[in-house]
A = this chain, B = another copy of it.
Amino acid sequence: MVRLVPRETKFFGMFAEMAGNVTDGARLLLEILQDFQNVETRLQKLQEIEHRGDDLTHAIITKLNQTFITPFDREDIHRLATTLDDVLDYVHAAGERLSTYKITQRSPRATRLAELIVRQTEQIATAISKLDKHDSVLDYCVEINRLENEADSVAREAIGKLFEEEKDPIALIKMKELFEVLEMATDKAEDVANVIETVTLKSA
């Protein structure tokens, strides 16, 4: 079959690149939280990943505005790019808190939250790699939502314990915010899953 106006399929490759970049960022954050080695150098690297995410988002939106026939709904391309970027923004923001607040001590619950973010981004990357093949990706979306529920309860427990145990209000403010920012990253990953699910359902 010949199409006179071909669909622009490059979007799939761009989203795959974006999902890979988000996963890199999440893994780096996890590594930093696991050992607190060379924090400043690695945060510099995380900042570069975040900038790269901004560039990729911008490239997708520019391409979207110049493309006539898109492989899926324009509004979903826009939302997929911006929600993916939101995940990376919160991953980066969590890293920044370590530096701004001079947090230098490992927290098993913060590490646990970062692990859940890594697993969500891996699921997102796999789902995105299957989007153009019309394979079912709903299982990945269900798993991403389950991971978000788990993160929600880890964060709630972490903050509850903090209020029981931490008597220094300034130290409490710092760690509370770290937990909240990590949890926000998992919420944004759920938003990504919701967009992916919408794309799949519309094409069913």
Contacts and interface: CB of A to CB of B under 8 A. Distances in A.
A204 B66 contact: yes
A59 interface: no
Interface in A136-169: 156, 159-160, 163, 167, 169
Interface residues of A, number: 26
A163 B169 contact: no
Copies in the complex: 3
A170 B172 contact: yes
A173 interface: yes
Interface of A is mostly: helix
A100, A173, A198, A202: residue with the most chain B Cβ atoms closer than 10 Å: A100
A173 B168 CA distance: 12
A62 interface: yes
A100 B160 contact: yes
A61 B160 CA distance: 34
8 contacts: A61-B194, A62-B201, A65-B201, A75-B75, A102-B163, A163-B170, A167-B170, A169-B173
